[in-house]
């Protein structure tokens, strides 16, 4: 009997005993009233590591993105993004509803948005068309299989935005993974942005929380947006302690997730040459299934054999490696998923 391996997302991790212990002993205050010392220490540390003037602890990555988008944009304008951006597809139109902007999806020529794509995709100024007020980037890029935008490309994107006088928000939910994969310091990866969001509840293994940090706007403005969104938290030092623990103990080990993702991807590709496995830069593996194979069938067959995947769309499945998915399981997972694809091809279900 093999144990269940949950590769649906890196958000499924449970806080370790050491993380829970750190939470239990955290010094706390009322962060809405006059400050929580553990939260403030985390914010200061993140601002420094990201090379930003300030940082603000928020309950989720979605809220962090919304704070950055609200600060950088203006209602009645548009935000330019990669067509597969998380902000467009998985944040239920919060930017439209709450920041009052529309999104302008730009389809990149390659896996992720590059400077040439942005230059081509930005609307020429016209009195008859919406103005663009903000560019939003994503690093690593979830929909592109955890693809990394290297420092130089980020700066090239920023230069194109600057030509048009546009600020940049960076959805860096997994910027930690980009940092570990490239060895580039976090502040240099964030140098392309005016505001950046990084998540603690993914690869770092914390139960809750993200940081939004900025250089050009005032922290008080970000604080106001968070408060308006209902994101003021009181004795949140307990959550900040989990985030700090993740930063101190789970950052370097992201390299293990990247190794596991590569082994798993190679294993699936070798066992099913007709599938197209996107070679992973980091911890996310996207598998485009062979013609006629339904993602729902593969997910079901793999689940029955103890490996949980997520269906990305009708013909693509996603596997994400993380703290609770040990890398020595990569070969077993590749075998199981390979067999599930072959089984789904041979015997398609009604789905």
Give the residue with the Cβ less far from ligand PLP, 169 or 297.
169
Q: Is the dihedral of CA 73, 224, 37, 28 positive or negative?
A: negative
**Which of 85, 64, 82, 15 shows the shortest CA–CA distance to 245?**
15
* Minimum distance, C-beta of residue 57 to ligand PLP, in the bound complex (Å): 12
Q: How far is the CB of 240 from ligand PLP (least distance, A)?
A: 15
Q: How many CB atoms lie within 10 A of CB 11?
A: 15
Minimum distance of ligand PLP from residue 171's CB (angstroms):
5
Of the candidates 250, 249, 62, 46, the one whose C-alpha atom is nearest the C-alpha of residue 142 is 62
Chain residues binding ligand PLP by CB under 6 A are 60-62, 65, 86, 138, 142, 171, 173, 199, 201, 210
Q: How far is the CB of 114 from ligand PLP (least distance, A)?
A: 18
Min dist. Cβ of residue 61 to ligand PLP (A) = 2
For residue 187, the SS3 value is: helix
Q: Which two tokens stand for residue 206?
A: 């914390």
Q: Tell me the closest approach of the beta carbon of residue 77 to ligand PLP, in angstroms.
A: 22
- Dihedral, 165, 171, 177, 181 alpha carbons, nearest 10: -20
- CA-wise closest residue to 204 among 248, 240, 172, 260: 248
Residues sharing a CB contact under 8 Å with residue 183, sequence separation 6 or more, in sequence order = none
Q: Which is nearer to ligand PLP, 272 or 284 (CB)?
A: 284
Residue nearer to ligand PLP on the CB measure, 52 or 272: 52
Q: Which residue is at the shortest CB distance from ligand PLP?
A: 61
- Strands 195-199, 210-214: pairing is antiparallel
* C-beta neighbour count of 342 within 10 angstroms: 18
Specify the residue, 277 or 320, whose C-beta has the smaller distance to ligand PLP. Answer: 320
Cβ closest to ligand PLP, residue 65 vs residue 269 = 65
H/E element, 277: strand 276-277
Q: Between vectors from CA 90 to CA 85 and to CA 91, what angle results, nearest 5°?
A: 100
In the numeric block, which tokens belong to residue 91? Answer: 């944040």
Minimum CB distance to ligand PLP, residue 300 (Å): 23
Reported as half-sphere exposure (CB side, CA atoms, 13 A), residue 185 has a value of 8
In the complex, the smallest distance separating the C-beta of residue 243 from ligand PLP, rounded to whole angstroms, is: 12
The nearer residue to ligand PLP, 176 or 342, going by C-beta atoms, is: 176
* HSE, side-chain direction, 13 A CA sphere, residue 94: 17
Between 143 and 343, CB nearer to ligand PLP: 143
The nearer residue to ligand PLP, 61 or 72, going by C-beta atoms, is: 61
């Amino acid at each position: 009997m093999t144990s269940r391996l949950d590769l649906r997302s890196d958000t499924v991790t449970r806080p370790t005993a050491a993380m829970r212990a750190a939470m239990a002993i955290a010094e706390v205050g009322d962060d809405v009233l006059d400050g929580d010392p553990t939260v403030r220490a985390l914010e200061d540390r993140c601002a420094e590591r990201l090379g930003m003037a300030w940082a603000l602890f928020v309950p989720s990555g979605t809220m962090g993105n919304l704070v950055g988008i609200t600060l950088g944009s203006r209602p009645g304008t548009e935000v330019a993004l990669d067509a597969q951006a998380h902000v467009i597809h998985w944040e239920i139109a919060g930017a439209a509803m709450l920041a009052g902007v529309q999104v302008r999806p730009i389809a990149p020529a390659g896996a992720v948005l590059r400077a040439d794509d942005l230059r081509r995709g930005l609307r020429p100024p016209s009195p008859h068309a919406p103005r663009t007020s903000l560019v939003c980037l994503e690093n690593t890029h979830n929909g592109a299989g955890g693809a990394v935008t290297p420092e130089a490309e980020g700066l090239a994107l920023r230069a194109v935005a600057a030509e048009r006088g546009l600020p940049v928000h960076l959805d860096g939910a997994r910027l930690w993974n980009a940092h570990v994969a490239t060895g580039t310091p976090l502040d240099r990866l964030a140098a392309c942005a005016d505001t950046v969001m990084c998540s603690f509840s993914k690869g770092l293994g914390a139960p809750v929380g993200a940081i939004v940090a900025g250089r050009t706007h005032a922290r008080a403005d970000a604080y106001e947006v968070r408060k308006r969104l209902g994101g003021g938290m009181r004795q949140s030092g307990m959550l900040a302690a989990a985030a700090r623990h993740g930063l101190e103990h789970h950052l370097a080990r992201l390299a293990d997730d990247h190794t596991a993702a590569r082994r798993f991807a190679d294993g699936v590709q070798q066992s099913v040459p007709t599938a197209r496995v996107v070679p992973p830069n980091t911890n996310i593996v996207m598998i485009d299934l062979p013609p006629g194979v339904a993602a729902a069938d593969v997910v079901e067959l793999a689940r029955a054999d103890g490996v949980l995947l997520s269906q990305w769309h009708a013909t693509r499945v996603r596997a994400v490696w993380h703290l609770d998915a040990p890398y020595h399981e990569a070969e077993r997972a590749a075998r199981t998923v390979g067999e599930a694809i072959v089984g789904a091809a041979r015997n398609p279900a009604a789905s």
